[in-house]
Structure 1
């Protein structure tokens, strides 16, 4: 059912297909023939035929956008982007990391719109943001000491294969 994940529906193409079905209906084709021609199920053609008989051509025209309208207006989304670019530290957070919870809190504070943190990533994706992982390195990190350990200490500590012993004979004579 529906489209594969991530593939948007082409509402114009769907309307063109319904109008083509309408034209075929007017020419006297049956549901099976129309379904075969347009590569849709007979039940779909039957539904279109019913909708047309009840509401005319208008019933087969585009219904408009699918799904719920976004709660954030375009102006608010632009303002949100500017706030995000300013960084979380400017808004009182201790670390320079935006989390979904923080973004949800920001949206609620600024626009009085509550989003579940688990859904905030959709808004961020729509704004062109992508998930980032912070580099987990300590500020006190000593690069010189780490390089020396990798080049000197580690190779010496690593287990080395033992030298092969002389082969044992499995054939022994019992006297």
Structure 2
């Protein structure tokens, strides 16, 4: 791939990232991405033979951003495992809140299953990190199962919060108490996180 090809490919992905941030995942049409990138509506097909491939490239940027936030939140990794799990949970919920369209795109089953850009290889290391920390926080449990249940709980909190359902049901204006309840349920009560 030439430098100009790489540049145009990146411009298309950049346009998609900006579009999903501004208008959400449903707005990610090939035609609109091409328009925003300043190219003909057929140009994306040269670099992304299918719409799923372009969406996967955009979602890959989301997973990369989430992983960067996770690394930043964990710092030098010397905090107690439970505190690190809490930091990851907080980052996950904040990312979902701050990047609603990208978050929705990243977890589309058709993208994860498609195999484009190996999104599972981008997302599974984050889950592996969570499972490792859960195992250290709760020795003797099946860490992958507990981490899976915790992740499902966090994903549900993120989704229901974005829809307004949890605010309505719980009367809370901050998802932090929900995060603590999820952590307590999966890791056991901890007085300070």
**Normalised by the size of structure 2, how large is the TM-score?**
0.26
Q: Which has the higher helix share?
A: 2
Structure number with bigger Rg: 1
**Normalised by the size of structure 1, how large is the TM-score?**
0.28
The answer to which structure, 1 or 2, has the higher relative contact order (CA under 8 A, 6+ apart) is 2
